[in-house]
A and B are shown apart, each in its own frame.
Chain A
Amino acid sequence: MEHDFAKGVEELGRQIDSRIASYFSSCVHCGLCAEACLFYTETGDPRYTPIYKLEPMRRLWKEQHTFWGKFAVKLGLSKPLTEQDFADWEELVYDSCTMCGRCSMVCPVGNDIAYMIRKEREGFSTAGYSPVGMQEATHRALTIGSPMGVTLKTLKAALAHVEKDTGLKIPMDQQGADYMTLFSSMEIVNFPEYIESVARIFDAAGVSWTISSEAFEATNSGIQIGSHEAAGELVSRVVNAAESLGVKFVISPECGHAYSAIRWEGPNLIGRPYKFEIIHILELLDQLQKDGRLQLSGHTDTPLTFHDPCQIVRRGGVVGPPRDLLGKVASGFVEMADHGTMNWCCGGGGGVSANERAEELRLKVFDRKRKQLEELGVKTMVTACANCRIVLEEGIEDREMDVEVIGLTELVAEYLTTKSAQ
């Protein structure tokens, strides 16, 4: 992507809405957000303070929205933003923030810092100051249809495997189905067992579902790199496919930012509400289980804990369902000290895991999760996000820990009361 600084500044200025203006007006530089950020707590580097990552945007806000800023510009006293500032801050904005939103929970004046970072990235990506890895992922998503380059052919091959293993028919492009299911590339490539679990559960619960060959990819690189155009395009593909199939619900898979993108940002990106509803797979499973359509039998006694994916729990609002489900299938479920909406990020969200440059830092800040696990002394961690899962597994390997990571949907599928048993 070429560098266009002027356009970037213009875009950054356009992102300053009432929320951001009030946030910058309220910030008293107390530094408490640093204490909530794993990039600061694990490195001790004050430049990883969340609000400091917004310095370029703050300076632009000051120039455009405040008396002193305008006054200083008139007199030629203030230094306007330079291209060098963008270059200097690129790593802070992309490498050291997963937009996990933990800082947004602790700010005493209530600033939603993760939202501000999301907006700041719009300016940075327009200016061309974004990590190459994320640029490429976005490019692949727009051209091929998946950030990891997964094509329909790959999906079909994976589905064929699942069909063979389960003996079930996976419905494709079925008009008028109730639910249309999305997957993340990572599930198709690394965790096909997720697809298998979904197929088995839906079969057991008698859910009418389908996969669209037009739009099966749930991830959205656009909201990670900060490009509302790319993000809007990716969302509209799903919306068009779902509306042409006439489904009632679209199921967001076990992928954090995919849920945020399609559930909360999507309608705003395409500028209209959907004609269908979005439901997260955990919400659906919880609902099926409560309605009695999903029969579970037996449970595991292994002590285990749940890693809350930030975008699903803290930023997505799916707090209860994973706990209800775990309550059904695991008797040894224990919570980490900071859990639910205050859980610590795996360190690889917000596109950080797609950014090779950030790998070393990401593995360093994994220490936070390591400490949490060691404190609890549990050897099994359940999560509900393919990206978290990969990042956690890499961290566990890097720290030579003896911890197993499993997906919640798979765990639930394991204790499914099969038809033959009924």
Chain B
Amino acid sequence: MGRVLFPQNVADAMKGGWLFLLCVLMLLLLVTSTAAIGAETAEQAQAIPVPNPSADLWREVRQRDGIVVGKTQVAGVDSGALINPYGETWRNFRMQQLIPYSGYLLVGMLLLLLLFFAIRGKVKVNAGMSDKKLFRYSLYERMIHWFIASVFLFLALTGLILLFGRSLLIPWVGQELFSLLASASKEGHNLFGPVFVVALLLIFIRFVRRNIYQRGDLTWLLKGGGIIGKGHVPSNFFNMGEKSMFWLLVLLGIVIIGSGLILVFPLFGQTRVTMELAHLSHAITTLLMILVIMGHIYIGSVGMEGALDGMTTGYCDLNWAREHHAQWAERCEQEGQVVSEAEVSRLRGESSGGHIPPAGAQESGQ
């Protein structure tokens, strides 16, 4: 039954297409939550109509009517403002909306993937795995992929500890251990942040050309990436979903990096308001990126047969390529780039010991 509901290339589509749905969902959430904050502050404002001699003073101090910069001998950013009223707004948003809702989203995503896996199972290569391979990712491409992957995982882990630590970890490990963990996470997160900038730059430069949208991509989109309708939707080296994921990650990445740099180097005259905004956009965009990457990891590991090979060995199965990247596979076959499994294992040095395969096999590389 499940197979009827979820056609073959749903999985392909998952690499990117459905992520749009999620993004839309996220945006909706954002809008509603900000609206909620707005309503709240409005109520509070109406709740203090009683005149009080000190009220005016405190109103000035708290700057309810907007920030008024006073005069001070202290030289420094924001030193003219006694109290930044937005700090409380930011704090409330972080505690009451950001943390719980992002928690629900992450858990929801996990459940969704589990549910999907339960219904659809592992997407098999229909024709079965062949004994022929296509060269898909060079050593350098694989290196920078796993480089950004490891840096990302570390940043995500430390970032999540900082975000959820208070509510999830303190009850579990106690305050003392958490303070230590939080300090470690913060230092690690700050140090690896710039490393991520380098990694994303390397990824962008290397993969951008193959991710430029082409004419075929429109067909892919119109056919819903294979979610709606039957049969395979042929795609090039990357399909529309993958390309969309690439651009989403690049755009999110830019926001993440920008906001992250504002946060980690508070020495360019950023005001508190800037820092608060940077923090919020950092949190929301990273959360989105984590969600996208969860799907990416799912499809690359347990979700689809043969999807991981290209990124580990550099070679993907010919049948897998035919089913998921038909245009690319066809072109490779026409150009005679099909390699036998024996040749791949020779090039990877997987034959035993020092034994050299018969000379015939050595010539097959030609």
Contact = CB atoms under 8 A, between A and B. Distances in A.
Contacts of B363: 360, 364
Contact of A361 (B346, B347, B351, B359): B359
Given A360-B359, A361-B359, A361-B362, A46 B354 contact: no
Contacts of A46: 347-349
Nearest to B349: A46
Nearest to B356: A91
A45 interface: yes
B353 interface: yes
Interface in B110-153: none
B365 interface: yes
Contacts of B353: 84-85, 88-89
A47 B354 contact: yes
Contact of A89 (B346, B351, B354): B354
B347 A95 contact: no
Interface string B43-59: 00000000000000000
Interface in B318-366: 346-349, 351-356, 359, 362-363, 365
A208 interface: no
B362 A47 contact: no
A85 B353 CA distance: 8
A45 B349 contact: yes
Most buried by B among A43, A84, A91, A95: A43
B356 A364 contact: no
A241 interface: no
Contacts, number: 43
Given A361-B359, A361-B362, A45 B354 contact: no
Contacts of A89: 353-354
Interface string A356-380: 0000110010000000000000000
B362 A45 contact: yes
Nearest to B360: A360
A91 B354 contact: yes
Contacts of A47: 349, 351, 354, 356
Contacts of A361: 359, 362
Nearest to A89: B354
Most buried by A among B349, B353, B354: B354
Chain A interface bracket (under 10, 10 to 19, 20 to 34, 35 or more): 20 to 34
A46 B348 CA distance: 7
Most buried by A among B347, B348, B349, B363: B349
A44 interface: yes
A90 B354 CA distance: 8
Interface in A13-49: 43-47
A403 interface: no
A43 B354 contact: no
A43 B349 contact: no
Contacts of B355: 88, 91
Contacts of A73: none
Contact of A360 (B346, B351, B352, B362): B362
A95 B358 CA distance: 13
A44 B347 contact: yes
Most buried by A among B351, B352, B356, B362: B356
B348 A43 contact: no
A88 B363 CA distance: 20
A45 B359 contact: no
Interface string A41-61: 001111100001101000000
Contacts of A84: 353
A55 B365 contact: no
Contacts of B362: 43, 45, 360-361, 364
B142 to A, nearest CB: 15
Contacts of B352: 88
A138 to B, nearest CB: 23
A44 B347 CA distance: 6
A92 interface: yes
Interface of A: 43-47, 52-53, 55, 84-85, 88-92, 95-96, 360-361, 364
9 contacts: A43-B365, A45-B356, A46-B347, A47-B351, A47-B356, A89-B354, A96-B356, A360-B363, A364-B362
Given A53-B354, A364-B363, 19 more contacts: A43-B362, A43-B365, A44-B365, A45-B346, A45-B349, A45-B362, A46-B348, A46-B349, A47-B351, A47-B356, A55-B354, A89-B353, A91-B356, A92-B356, A96-B356, A360-B359, A360-B362, A361-B362, A364-B362
